[in-house]
Amino acid sequence: MSRLGEDMKKTIVYIERISPKARLPCYAHEDDSGADVCSIINYTLGPHEIKAIPTGLKIELPTGFDLQVRPRSGLALNHGLILPNSPGTIDAGYRGELKIIMMNLGKKPFHIQEGQRIAQLVLSPCYPAHFTLVEQVKESERGTKGFGSTGT
């Protein structure tokens, strides 16, 4: 039994297969936050190349949620594959095909195989902001200290 208990509610995400090769996203372990999503094509991603890899899926998210597209750590560590817009954001109103933008930072071409897990999808609640213009924002302890301000 998971630590959250059996009464944990799951949010329904509707998925349409637009290719017979498409696989539904799935969690490798019960308590994973990211569900793996797979490529529907074979493609060799050259060094420093960027390509949108199709998944053959369309997704319908409930209002108030987005789907974050995150890299798989093994592909990043072992092959230098990243998602340059990570995390990618799939908005609730988007109904096009889910494609994963991948980049090869490695020195060798990487062959993506049909059915290979290429990214993770994390469902997240979204809280719309009401952006309000003020004359001046309040001071804080940190102030304007930015990049590298806490050391390395």
Chain centre distance of CA 64? 17
CATH of the domain at 106: 2.70.40.10
* Residue span of the structural domain in which 109 resides: 14-125
Q: Is residue 139 part of a domain?
A: no
Cα distances (Å, whole numbers) of residue 129 to 51, 97, 132: 32, 27, 9
* Total domains in the fold of the chain: 1
- For 94-113, the pLDDT digits (tens) are 999 999 999 999 999 999 99
- Asked, as a colleague might, if the bond just before 71 is cis with ω within 30 of 0, I would say no
Residue in the structure block whose two tokens are 């290429």: 118
Residue-by-residue pLDDT tens, the chain, 152 positions = 455 556 568 899 999 999 999 999 999 998 999 999 999 999 999 999 999 999 999 999 999 999 999 999 999 999 999 999 999 999 999 999 999 999 999 999 999 999 999 999 999 999 999 999 999 999 998 888 888 877 77
